[in-house]
Amino acid sequence: MLMANDVYPSRQGTAEAIGERQDPVVFGNGPARSEYSLSEEQLHSYEKNGFIVLPGLMKDVVEPMLEEVRRLGREMSHRKEVVTEPDSDEVRSIFAAQNFSPMVDRISRDRRMLDVARQLLDSDVYIHQSRVNVKPPIKGKSFQWHSDFETWHVEDGMPRCRVTTGWIMLTDNTPYNGPLFVIPGSHQWFVAVAGETPENNFEQSLKQQVAGVPSLDTIEWMTRNCGEVQGVYGEPGTVVFHEGNILHASPDNISPNPRTNLMFVYNSVENTPQRPFSGQEPRPEHLANRDFTPLKPVDPK
Amino acid sequence: MLMANDVYPSRQGTAEAIGERQDPVVFGNGPARSEYSLSEEQLHSYEKNGFIVLPGLMKDVVEPMLEEVRRLGREMSHRKEVVTEPDSDEVRSIFAAQNFSPMVDRISRDRRMLDVARQLLDSDVYIHQSRVNVKPPIKGKSFQWHSDFETWHVEDGMPRCRVTTGWIMLTDNTPYNGPLFVIPGSHQWFVAVAGETPENNFEQSLKQQVAGVPSLDTIEWMTRNCGEVQGVYGEPGTVVFHEGNILHASPDNISPNPRTNLMFVYNSVENTPQRPFSGQEPRPEHLANRDFTPLKPVDPK
């Protein structure tokens, strides 16, 4: 079903096609919000590459947040948002933890995170999705190349690409523990993917994405025309902002160390989702939040 | 079945155990064989770390060898040693190509390779196994941590650890295309793995190794006691020698580029296999060669 106002049609049953991005990357030239805003140079780098790495920016939250992850695994494993290992209380994922963890709520609104998101999108923002992600040692599975925005657009009805993901490394992210790989510059293109969206696709796609995955030809095209694949590494406390449409993937974690990150998808309040462009039902709230109240910044402790 | 002369018992149905290596790493202090032998410093590094990287050493063979791989895929795909993609003549693996490709035979005996192997093992050598290995883009699967020697011992009856693998990068080996990861120093320990060996295990283990894979606890122990996981990267033509018992693994290849390597397992003629220590039938000849004729060196072209 093709919707009239769909500027990023994808999974419409037609052949895969690469089109131009229809939105700015940095909105309104990224007006500074506070002393925690990005510099001109950092803005330029984000605009060009589609991501920026801020080493050690949130180092102070790492230890308390790792303890919070353990606590939530022990005490809150009855909630659908808390996914633990089948045989223990060890956390695999926690969705939308800002709704039941004051610590996560506070971190999501910390000016070091929030003022950057508001600067990049030149508006107030809310959290479209958030997640603690543990890629466990030896067993952690890979994720194929994809644009997050493509999924949020098709499956959640997010109209435009005015969205950025800010995330905090809670453990080392190394070349060995299944780190994020990106194709710098790929956010300037939108890949309209072939195929259609299966019903309740999220049940499958959280484990292994199939719908919305571009072909090898497209990935080759991107590395030839945008930039070589690049790994995103850092020590605990490092913050990364990556643009919602950048192509990214991650290999499996065969190392003996977990890779644990805390991610917030900041969406502009001027870009709130409508009906999913797939024509299907919206995903559950803990995957695609429908409370668009703007986040209020708090100063770092 | 426990054999009386088994100095490296493994997969005997008992619990996993880490024991000391029973053999030297560099035999007879690694007497130089020619101008192509390793230096004292290189020998020392190999002894300590269990591997050595020789950038660009065989650069001249890369282009002709890639062409040879394509030719073998086109012309020799009827042979059991040549494994092509299900839907094309594209090569996945070629085993024992020295038996039907004069070029591969010549490369395997090139003094730049052979004199190093003979030096490390202080004897004549023959090829226990050889393989062209293509890890294809996007689809190439990971391999779990293992010691090659553990398999050669249990499944092929190789009595002692007097064996080294010399391999040539035919494409770039990068952090992104499923490269080799090693635990430096792990070759000084032998992991007696739990479980037993299924019959015809090689049919499974060439795709994904299950028997002979140490536990996460053991991998953690190794990284604490030996060294951190390290990736082995290089440009085409780079040669690596890794000791038969070093623990290694590789993540899947999610990049758009294949990772193609040519590998020769050089075993000492004083270490020829007997009956497999699993008590089972030996593996087929193209996986575990039983022609022990010493290789004759040829000078580089």
Tell me how crowded residue B56 is: count the other CB atoms within 10 A of its CB: 14
Q: Mapping DSSP to helix (H, G, I), strand (E, B) and coil, where does residue B150 land?
A: helix
Closest CA to B260 of B61, B7, B29: B61
d(CA A43, CA A61): 24
Backbone φ, ψ for residue A163 (5° rounding)? -155, 140
What is the predicted pLDDT for the residue at B1?
A: 53
A181 touches chain B (CB under 8 A): yes
Q: Flag whether pLDDT at A249 surpasses 70.
A: yes
Each residue's pLDDT tens digit, B58-76: 999 999 999 999 999 999 9
Instruction: Tell me the pLDDT of chain A averaged across its residues.
Output: 94
Query: Could you give the residue ranges of the DSSP H alpha helices within chain A?
Result: 40-49, 62-75, 102-109, 111-121, 148-156, 202-205, 216-225
Q: Which CATH class is domain B17-268?
A: mainly beta
d(CA B54, CA B38): 10
Among the listed ranges A75-84, A250-259, B155-164, B215-224, which one has the minimum average pLDDT value? A75-84
Q: How confident is the model at residue A4 (pLDDT cuts 50, 70, 90)?
A: low
Q: Flag whether pLDDT at B4 surpasses 80.
A: no
**β-pair partners for B167:** B240, B263
A220 touches chain B (CB under 8 A): yes
Tell me how crowded residue B290 is: count the other CB atoms within 10 A of its CB: 12
Q: Given an 8 Å threshold on Cβ–Cβ distance, is A216 in contact with B138? A: yes
Q: Which residue of B has its CA nearest to A138?
A: B216
B233 touches chain A (CB under 8 A): no
Each residue's pLDDT tens digit, B88-111: 788 899 999 999 999 999 999 999
B87 touches chain A (CB under 8 A): no
Instruction: Tell me the pLDDT of chain B averaged across its residues.
Output: 94
Q: Flag whether pLDDT at A2 surpasses 60.
A: no
Strand ranges for B75-198 from DSSP E = 82-84, 91-95, 125-135, 143-146, 163-169, 180-182, 189-192
Q: Flag whether pLDDT at B16 surpasses 60.
A: yes
For residue B174 the two structure tokens come to 């990068």
Mean pLDDT value across residues B54-61: 98
For residue B33 the two structure tokens come to 């064989």
Query: pTM higher than 0.90, yes or no?
Result: yes
Each residue's pLDDT tens digit, A90-149: 889 999 999 999 999 999 999 999 999 999 999 999 999 999 999 999 988 899 999 999
Q: Mapping DSSP to helix (H, G, I), strand (E, B) and coil, where does residue B222 land?
A: helix
d(CA B52, CA B55): 10
Residues 6+ apart with CB under 8 A from B232: B51, B53, B173, B179, B180, B181, B182, B240, B242
What is the predicted pLDDT for the residue at B36?
A: 97
Q: Which residue of B has its CA nearest to A144?
A: B254
Closest CA to A162 of A2, A1, A21, A282: A21
ipTM: 0.86
B218 touches chain A (CB under 8 A): no
What is the predicted pLDDT for the residue at A235?
A: 98
Q: Flag whether pLDDT at B172 surpasses 80.
A: yes
Each residue's pLDDT tens digit, A28-44: 999 999 999 999 999 99
d(CA B182, CA B187): 10
Nearest to B231 among A175, A220, A250 (CB): A175
Kindly list the distances between the CA atom of residue B279 and the CA atoms of A258, B10, B22, B198, in Å, as whole numbers in the listed order: 38, 12, 21, 11
What is the predicted pLDDT for the residue at A3?
A: 64
Q: Given an 8 Å threshold on Cβ–Cβ distance, is A229 in contact with B144? A: no
